Every structure is written in C-alpha cells, then in structure tokens.
Amino acid sequence: MGRYILRRLLQMIPVFIGTTLIIFLMVYALPGDPVRALFGDKAPDAATLAALRHQYGLDLPLWHQYWNYLSGIFKGDLGTSYSQQPVASILGAAIPVTIRLALVAFVIEMVFGVLFGVISGLRRGKLADSVLLFVTLIVIAIPTFVIGYVFQVVFGNNLGWVTPTVNDSYNITQLILPGIVLGLVSLAYVSRLTRTSVVENVRADYMRTAVAKGLPRRRIVGVHLMRNSLIPVITFLGTDLGALMGGAIVTEGIFNIQGVGNVLYKAINQADGPLVVGTVTFLVIVYLVASLIVDLLYAVLDPRIRYA
Amino acid sequence: MSTTDTTAVGQGNTTPSGTSLLEVDDLHVEFKTRDGIVRAVNGVSYSVDSGETLAVLGESGSGKSVTAQAVMGILDMPPARIPSGEIRYRGQNLLTMSNEARRKVRGAKIAMIFQDALSSLNPVLTVGYQLSEMFRVHRGMSRKEAKARAVDLMDRVRIPAAKERVNDYPHQFSGGMRQRIMIAMALALEPDLIIADEPTTALDVTVQAQVMDLLADLQKEFHMGLILITHDLGVVADVADKIAVMYAGRIVETAPVHELYKNPAHPYTKGLLQSIPRLDQKGQELYAIKGLPPNLLNIPEGCAFNPRCPMAQEVCRHELPPLHEVTDDSGRPIAGRGSACHFWKETLHG
C-alpha cells in the first residue's frame, strides 16, 4: 500500500510537468503582447517596455521562464498577475468560495443521487423507476446555463425564495441554489449509475445468501447490497468532486460567485498569462489529488483490488 | 391436479403423530415469464427427519433446486408463485407464516449451503464479518463475542489458522475452504435442517470428498436433517439414507439409497445409473439417455419422460402415472419405495 502510494505520487510528477508546460506554452503562443497591452492605446517608449519585460522576466528564454515559474510554485509563489496582484492571493480569495460551492453541490448530488438511484434500482420497471430514468435523461440533455438561468428567474426573480445573484460568496445559504444548479447534472448521473449498480447486484448470489441467513431486509439492503453497489458510485463521486472544483465557470458566471471559475474566465478574457497558468496549475493539482484519493478509496472499498 | 400422483410414499418416515422435521406436501411452483408460465415444480412431496439425509436427484431443470428454494423461502416472488401445496416445519406451515416469523426460521432453524461459494459469499465483507453476522442478528451478540464465535466455527469446519484468517476476504480462500465457510455459516446457529444445493459441484474431485465427509460428520454430530440436492450419483451413495429422483418438476422415484442402486423401479433412474461411466466397461460406448430434458413451458402429456423412455407405451402418452407403491415379489410394499411409472414392475424385473 505504501509503495503503491509512493509510485502514484511519482507518477504525478510527469503529469504535473506535462500539463503545466502545455498550458504555459499555449498562453505564450496567444496573439498580442501583454506588456504593450498594459498601456492601452498609448505607445510606451522602448526603454520602459524593456524595463517592464525585464521586471516580469519576459526577456529570458522560454525554458528559463518556465523554470522560474516551476521553481516559484514550490516556494508558494504562483507569480504576479498583470493586474499587479500576486496570483496566490487572488486564488486564495477565490478557493474558499469554490470549495463552499463545490461542497454544497457535492452533498446534494451524493445524498439525492444515491437515494433516488437505490429506490429506482430496487423498483426496477415500476413507475418510480421509469420517472427517474425519464427525468434524469432530460436533466442530462439540458445544458447547465439553461437550467441555471431558468432557476435564477423562477426561484430568484419570480418566487423570490432566494436572491437572484449571490452578493456574499462566503454565505452558504446563498450558495444553495447555485449548488443545486451545479450539481444537478452529476446528480442525474449518480442516480443512473447507482440504479444500474443496484439492479446488477440485487440479483447476485450473495444477496440470496443474505436472505437465506435470515437477515432483516434493511440489513440486506443497507449492508450487503450497498457495500457492493456503491463502489462505482463512489469512484464517480470522487472524480466529480475534482470536476466541481474547477468546472463551475458557467454557474459562477450566472450567479456572480467570486470563485475559481470566475477568476479563470476573467483571466482568459484579459489574456492574463500568469493568472491563467496559476489557476490551471491549481486545478491540475486538485484533479491529481482527487484521482489519487479515488484510487485509494477504491481499494479500500473493494478488497479484490490489489496494488500490484 | 389429482392427488393420486402424490401419494404419501415420499412421507414414508412420517411419525404417527405426523410431525416430521420437514414435510413438503404437494408443492407446486410456477414462474411467470414472457413466453408463458413455466411449471417448475408440479406436486412434489417429501419429508426429512432429524439425523436423516434425503438426496434429491435430477438433471438441471428438474425442479430440485426450486423446491429447495421454496422451502428456504428465497424464491423471487414474483416471478415465482406457489399456487398450492404446503411446506411444514415441525408441523407448522411455512408458507402461511408472517414474513418476520419466516425470517427467524431462515438461517436459524433451516439453513442452506449453495453451490458456488465464491459468488455466494459477499466479496467485500470479511468471512469473519459474514459469519459473526449470524450471531449478531439472530442472537443479539456483541461484535467481539460474535467474532470469537466465528473463529470457533472456522475451527469446527477445520479451516487451518482460523484466528489469523477470520479477517480475510472470500477471494483469499481456496475453493474447498470457501465451501467450508459456507458450511460454517449454515451451521452457525445449529439449525435442525440443512439444505445443501450441489455443495460439491464447483469443487475439485479430491476436495469434493473432504467437503462431503465434513458435512456428513457435522450432520451426525448435531443430529440434523439434511437435504442434499445433486445430480451426482456418486456423491449420493455414500451419505444419503433415501433418495428422491425428480424429473420435470415431479418425483418419479423414491427409495432407500441401496435399494435404488440395486434395483431401480423407474426407467429414468435406470438410465441415470447406466450413464455412470464404469471401469469394467472400458472401450464400450458410454450410455446416454436419448433426447433432451422437457421444456417446462410445454411438459409432454401423460408421463413427462415418455418421449425419451425406451419402455414407453400408448398409455404413457396419455395418462400421468401416480407414484405407485413398489412391492416385493410376495406383494408386500417395500418401505419408502415408490415409482411413478406405469410399468414399474417390468422395470424392476427387467
């Protein structure tokens, strides 16, 4: 187990270097000169330009710039955005917001997704099952920005249950509606995945054994069925937590939430290279850690998985 | 359905007070499928007493397992349905019991051992957990107490180093050891009756004998009734007291074990015995009963075996033979013997 974790951590190094390098090169290849852009319409003199280039290290060869960037990361320095703020402090303000939003969405999709999936799986072919399959299909088919705007108008503007946009991104109660919007598609996937898994396992031989042992039904379902059925679901949920942390660009935009997705959206629009690279680096790390945790969790849940 | 085809020969060991350990009485089970109603069990009656072993013999699809699952109460209903019949445990009809009362019988009074131990054990729970669950649920023991009992059980079914292995998972055991764990689980609460559904079919031949011996020993020790479901005539000879041969959801022959081997009274049993490969027939073609087992959606009229039977006559195609008492040469009925063949006499002497 220890060796396995070590090997997984070592495997993360090339992935980390590869992704950051690609992003770094892509931002470098963007058209336009960011230093000139700082001056807007005015034409700066060559000496000022050169001084600024030197200040940002943009006069160095590309490999040197990348090296400076990588070594900065390990000192906790993600560079300085072109808006003169340290990238680390911009992300530092956005990450807690995104974590809150992601957790709200995660709890909603986990609790309701598994609940609906189990009910539906145990009543395969009945009305509740058909309704779930139909509704989840619709939810999966509708893009998030449509659901987001509809919910915003209906629950925010028309019914007035919540504020249409979030004015305090740290306030969890304001994040509930955006959380539902963010988690809805995953909720549909979790329901369907749970349902399929329950249907598959409910006819398994060990379920027959559990009945033959004279166990009460809640134990047969709650222990024997769940421990097996939830293995693929938990794997999905783990990966999805990583996706929720970074994939909230649309939702954060609709509800004006000052999270990581928002930061990334603005940075791309403003061609703010250091900020884009810094944010993406953060997201890469989140994904890597999430997938490592999922793999480890998988082995805990299913003892047949061996670390070879 | 006339009752003549299920005369009480199968209940030959019933005590005068009528309280055998388990009595199955004219049981019918059918499954509703898209293609129609599958009649899997068509009026089966048998009984088992404490300390007695009944072997139920038959091909796949003969209804032997379905009958056992009905006794156990683990049929999926629907699609299964029990339109008529009784299953009495110590005189109580299990089929009319409340679900909760039935649950308390399962595992505690009547336990079952399945064919494939690997798929029948929960893959993600340790064997210790699965064994101790019996004590925790039925006896309300603490986790720790139950775990200690689980180790005792594993010792009892002769699993080496039980204490170290109690926290292992099913896939970490060999096939024979896994089946021992299934046996331990069935024995946990010292039930009155064990139903073993092809307990050795999935095992290597050398291990088969060990597991059968273990089962037979434990049965003697605890004085339990045992219903052994199998298609393996070799397994039966050593351990069974009496045999019921099933075909197309009916019992076609019942007999004490040695009588059956010596002198079968049904052409189907005869065919089964002939199809056992024997060393002294080396070089000869192996005997096989011609034809295929019947389609349970459409069981042949008359005797279900008639299309495959070498002795079939016109009467076999129209008239369902009842389970006749089998008599000896002087006309006295032989205890426990019955044959559902119009020509049982000819079969017996032919």
- Residue B106 pairs with which residues in a beta bridge? B110
Residue with the bigger pLDDT between B315 and A228: it is A228
Mutation to test the A interface, candidates B110, B122, B129, B189, most A Cβ within 10 Å: B122
* Alpha carbon of A8: minimum distance to chain B alpha carbons (Å): 24
* Alpha carbon of A228: minimum distance to chain B alpha carbons (Å): 7
* Alpha carbon of B109: minimum distance to chain A alpha carbons (Å): 10
pLDDT over 70 for what percent of chain A? Answer: 96
Taking only the tens place, the pLDDT of each residue in B12-32 is: 444 444 578 888 888 999 888
- Residue B29 pairs with which residues in a beta bridge? B41
Q: Which amino acid is at B180?
A: R
B31 φ/ψ angles, rounded to the nearest 5 degrees:
-115, 130
Q: What's the token pair of residue A191?
A: 């329901």
Taking only the tens place, the pLDDT of each residue in A93-131 is: 888 888 888 888 999 999 999 999 999 988 888 888 889
Report residues of chain B scoring pLDDT below 50: 1-17
Q: What's the token pair of residue A258?
A: 């000052």
Q: Indicate whether A296 pLDDT > 70.
A: yes
Cβ separation A205–B119 shorter than 8 A:
yes
Report in angstroms the alpha-carbon separations of B91 from A307, B23, B49, B99, B302.
Answer: 54, 8, 12, 18, 33
* Alpha carbon of A5: minimum distance to chain B alpha carbons (Å): 22
Q: Give the pLDDT score at B14.
A: 41
CB-based burial label for A82 (10 Å; 0-12, 13-18, 19+) = middle
Largest Cα–Cα distance in chain A? 87
Report in angstroms the alpha-carbon separations of B129 from A106, B117, B263.
Answer: 31, 16, 48
Q: Give the pLDDT score at A197.
A: 93
Q: Give the pLDDT score at B11.
A: 41
Contacts of A223 in chain B (CB under 8 A): 125
Report angle CA A244, A246, A248 to the nearest 5 degrees.
65
Cβ separation A206–B121 shorter than 8 A:
yes
Of A204, A214, A303, the CB nearest to B138: A214
A145 confidence band (pLDDT: 50, 70, 90): confident
pLDDT over 90 for what percent of chain B? Answer: 8
Taking only the tens place, the pLDDT of each residue in A27-37 is: 777 777 777 77
Which candidate, B52, B53, B187, places its Cα nearest to that of A213? B187
Report in angstroms the alpha-carbon separations of A112 from A115, A136, A188, B315, B322.
Answer: 5, 12, 9, 64, 58
Number of residues written out for chain B: 350
Cβ separation A205–B112 shorter than 8 A:
no
Q: Indicate whether A17 pLDDT > 60.
A: yes
Q: Give the pLDDT score at B4.
A: 41
Q: Give the pLDDT score at A169.
A: 65
Q: Give the pLDDT score at A188.
A: 92
Closest-approach residue (CA) in chain A for B72:
A212
CA dist B187 and B214 (Å) reads: 12
CB interface of B with A, residues 118-137, below 8 Å: 119-125, 133-134, 137
Q: Give the pLDDT score at B193.
A: 92
A244 confidence band (pLDDT: 50, 70, 90): confident
CA dist A146 and B74 (Å) reads: 48
Which residue ranges does chain A devote to CATH 1.10.3720.10? 94-301
* Alpha carbon of A262: minimum distance to chain B alpha carbons (Å): 42
Q: Give the pLDDT score at A158.
A: 82
Q: Give the pLDDT score at B95.
A: 86
Q: Give the pLDDT score at A307.
A: 58
A247 confidence band (pLDDT: 50, 70, 90): low
Mutation to test the A interface, candidates B71, B120, B198, most A Cβ within 10 Å: B120
Report in angstroms the alpha-carbon separations of A260 from A105, A183, A196, A274, B250.
Answer: 15, 16, 34, 14, 71
The domains of chain B are located at 4-109+191-278+286-349
A46 confidence band (pLDDT: 50, 70, 90): confident
Within an 8 Å CB–CB cutoff, is residue A204 touching chain B? Answer: yes
Residues in CB range of A276: below 8 A, 6 or more apart: A23, A27, A264, A267, A268
Cβ separation A228–B124 shorter than 8 A:
yes
For residues A59-71, average pLDDT: 82
The CB density around residue B115, as the number of other CB atoms within 10 Å, is: 20
CB interface of A with B, residues 227-246, below 8 Å: 227-228, 231
CATH number of A94-301: 1.10.3720.10
Sign of CA dihedral A204, A209, A214, A216: negative
B39 SS3 class: strand
- Helix, strand, coil share (%) of chain B residues, nearest 5: 40, 25, 40
Q: Are B73 and B57 in contact (CB under 8 A)?
A: no
Task: Check residue A243 and give left, alpha or beta (phi > 0: left; psi -120 to 50: alpha).
Answer: alpha
Cβ separation B120–A208 shorter than 8 A:
yes
Taking only the tens place, the pLDDT of each residue in B163-178 is: 888 888 998 888 888 8
Cβ separation B114–A216 shorter than 8 A:
no
CA dist A48 and A44 (Å) reads: 7
* Alpha carbon of A33: minimum distance to chain B alpha carbons (Å): 58
What's the complex ipTM?
0.81
Cβ separation B124–A303 shorter than 8 A:
yes
For residues A46-59, average pLDDT: 79
Q: Give the pLDDT score at A92.
A: 85
Cβ separation A210–B138 shorter than 8 A:
no
Taking only the tens place, the pLDDT of each residue in B30-46 is: 888 888 888 888 888 88
According to CATH, the topology of domain B4-109+191-278+286-349 is: Rossmann fold (3.40.50)
